[in-house]
Structure 1
Amino acid sequence: MRKWLLSVISALALAGAGFAVINFWPIGAEPKLSTVEGSVQRGVYLARMSGCIACHTDLENGGKPLAGGTKFATDFGTFYSPNLTTDKAFGMGSWSIEDFAKAVRQGISPEGEPYYPSFPYPFYAKFSDQDIADLWAAFQTVPGVAEPTKPHDMTPPFNLRAGLKLWRGLFFKPEPFISDPTKSEQWNRGKYIVEGPAHCAACHTPRNHLGARKTDLALTGADRLPDGGSSPAITSEYLKQNGWTVSSLSYALQSGLMPDGDVFGGSMGEVVRDGTAYLSKQDRDAIAIYLLEGNE
Structure 2
Amino acid sequence: MMLQEVAIGHETVRWEPVPAEEAVIQVQNLNLYYGKHQALYNVSVNFPRNKITAIIGPSGCGKSTLLRSLNRMNDLIPGVRIEGKVIYEGVDIYDPRVDPVEVRRHIGMVFQKPNPFPKSIYENVVFSLRLQGQKEGLDEVVEQALRRAALWEEVKDKLHEIALRLSGGQQQRLCIARAIAAEPPLLLLDEPTSALDPIATERIESLLLELKQHYSLIIVTHNMQQAARIADRTIFMHLGVLIEEGPTNVLFTNPKDKRTEAYITGRFG
Give the TM interval when normalised to the shorter protein.
under 0.3
- The structure with higher relative contact order (CA 8 Å, sep 6+) is 2
Over alpha carbons, which structure has the higher Rg? 1
Report the structure, 1 or 2, having the larger helix content: 1
Report the TM-score when normalising by structure 1: 0.24
Report the TM-score when normalising by structure 2: 0.26
Report the structure, 1 or 2, having the larger strand content: 2
